Amino acid sequence: MQIVEFADEFGPEKVLEVYDPKTGMKGFTVVDNTALGPAKGGIRMTPTVDVKEVFRLARTMTWKCALADIPFGGGKSGIIFDEKKDADKKLDLVRSFSRAIKPICPSLYVSAPDVNTSEKEMQVFVEENGNFNAATGKPLALCRDIYGKKVCGLPHELGSTGYGVSYATQVALKYRETDIKGASIAIEGFGNVGTFAFKDLEEAGAKIVAVSDSKGCLFNESGIKYEEIYEVKKKTGSVINGKGKKIDGKKIFELDVDVLIPAALPDVINEKNMNKVKAKVIVEAANIPMTLEVEKKLSKRILIVPDFVANAGGVISSYAEYVGKGPDYMNKLVKDKLLKNTDFVLKRAMQKKISVRDVAMEVAVERVRKAMAKRERKR
């Protein structure tokens, strides 16, 4: 894909395609916009990742950081990786990728975990790069002494994104005049985001009636308990072995629930199944779980909290790590910002009678434009 096909006034500023013949590493980094700060975005490792996908995600990060009101721009990276073929050289690919993009990292781009990357890959990335701030989402045990202060990593495994999704969900339910206690919720995905969203929503009093993973979906109208399903997943490898009815994974999007939380894959709600969605609220925990066209149509009858609003907990956590703060500060910052930002955009959307995404975009675009104009005046 040629850059001109998706370039506009906001970016992307840089698109890197890198290759290492020794390891076979093929990767991409898109620095979309740095008006507010260095581009922030994770590294995903999948067999199908390409420049277009990475750009879409980088652009989402531009708006997410602006709306979260943190001094980061938008970026994203991808490494072509097939778990079946390349599992034994995964860390070598990460090292190779880190070397390849070192000239822009962390001055223009700061990486983080994404699909198929975790705190382990981030540790390898920063060690190869030689700069502690080259990535966030590092292990909690990975620390450095900086100007006499001990600064440590804040892995996404602490649950920042998932907890943020829970806070956004609780705010959205208030706008649907539905009590969180007893509210029925279906969560697609039981990974790093879905597990923590599940746990926090259950603690808030919600009833999780369905949860899915790559093997299928477990449905139980009486509710699924977090501790039980966590143990089932750990012991058997799938949530479908828990107490309840096993159904096709795609059926989770058609359940009659108060809240549907897509928390795994992109484009799972589409033209084929959109008319079967019965949820009152959709909270987009995953990045781009539906196209803008589908979201626009569904928002006429369903309250949708967009991805760059709902899942900002991860990048807010990244900011806390970037400035050298600890878990307590991070947790408070995520909670305060998600509650405030979600309420702000939902309230304005109701007042203006437009979609939540349109309101959130207005705010984010305005902030980025102001930052771009300020940067231009300094040149």
Q: Domain 160-313+343-352: give its CATH superfamily.
A: NAD(P)-binding Rossmann-like Domain (3.40.50.720)
Question: Which residues lie below 8 Å from residue 205, measured CB to CB, with a gap of 6+?
Answer: 179, 180, 181, 182, 183
Please report, as a single letter, which amino acid is at residue 95. R
Q: What confidence category does residue 5 fall into, taking pLDDT thresholds of 50, 70 and 90? A: confident
Q: Which helix (H) or strand (E) holds 330?
A: helix 327-352
Is residue 12 reached through a cis peptide bond, with omega within 30 degrees of 0 on the bond before it?
Answer: yes
How many angstroms separate the CA atoms of 366 and 189, rounded? 33
User: pLDDT tens digits for 276-304?
Assistant: 999 999 999 998 899 999 999 999 999 99
Mean pLDDT of 89-114: 97
Q: Given a cut of 80, is residue 147 above it in pLDDT? A: no
| Residue 288 tokens, joined | 């781009």
Question: Which residues lie below 8 Å from residue 359, measured CB to CB, with a gap of 6+?
Answer: 345, 348, 349, 352
How many angstroms separate the CA atoms of 311 and 191, rounded? 14
Question: Which residues lie below 8 Å from residue 239, measured CB to CB, with a gap of 6+?
Answer: 190, 211, 212, 213, 215, 217, 218, 229, 232, 233
SS3 337: helix
Q: What confidence category does residue 6 fall into, taking pLDDT thresholds of 50, 70 and 90? A: confident
Mean pLDDT score across all residues of the chain: 95
User: pLDDT tens digits for 32-79?
Assistant: 999 999 999 999 999 999 999 999 889 989 999 999 999 999 999 999
Mean pLDDT of 108-118: 94
Mean pLDDT of 6-32: 96
| Cα separation values, 316 from 100, 304, 322, Å | 27, 21, 10
The whole-number pLDDT of residue 68 equals 95
Mean pLDDT of 70-96: 96
The whole-number pLDDT of residue 2 equals 55
What's the farthest any 2 CA atoms get from each other in the chain?
62
Q: Given a cut of 90, is residue 268 above it in pLDDT? A: yes
Q: What confidence category does residue 3 fall into, taking pLDDT thresholds of 50, 70 and 90? A: low
How many angstroms separate the CA atoms of 250 and 193, rounded? 19
Q: What confidence category does residue 4 fall into, taking pLDDT thresholds of 50, 70 and 90? A: low
User: pLDDT tens digits for 349-379?
Assistant: 999 999 999 999 999 999 999 999 999 988 7
Are 32 and 75 in contact, with CB atoms under 8 Å apart?
yes
Are 219 and 226 in contact, with CB atoms under 8 Å apart?
no
Q: Given a cut of 70, is residue 1 above it in pLDDT? A: no
Question: Which residues lie below 8 Å from residue 338, measured CB to CB, with a gap of 6+?
Answer: 164, 167, 168, 171, 312, 313, 316
How many angstroms separate the CA atoms of 42 and 345, rounded? 25
User: pLDDT tens digits for 168-225?
Assistant: 999 999 999 999 999 999 999 999 899 999 999 999 999 999 999 999 999 999 999 9
How many angstroms separate the CA atoms of 78 and 134, rounded? 16
How many angstroms separate the CA atoms of 367 and 9, rounded? 14
For the chain, give every domain's residue range: 3-153, 160-313+343-352
Nearest to 125 by CA among 101, 157, 89: 101
What is the number of H-type helices and E-type strands within the chain? Answer: 12, 15
User: pLDDT tens digits for 322-346?
Assistant: 999 999 999 999 999 999 999 999 9
Is 325 annotated in the active site?
A: no
How many angstroms separate the CA atoms of 313 and 83, rounded? 28
| Residue 378 tokens, joined | 């300094």
Is residue 38 reached through a cis peptide bond, with omega within 30 degrees of 0 on the bond before it?
Answer: no
- Which is catalytic among the residues 76, 199, 280, 337? 76
Q: What confidence category does residue 260 fall into, taking pLDDT thresholds of 50, 70 and 90? A: very high
How many angstroms separate the CA atoms of 117 and 43, rounded? 7
CATH dotted code for 3-153:
3.40.50.10860
User: pLDDT tens digits for 222-253?
Assistant: 999 999 999 999 999 999 999 999 999 999 99
What pTM value is reported for the model?
A: 0.91
Q: 3-153 and 160-313+343-352: same fold? A: yes
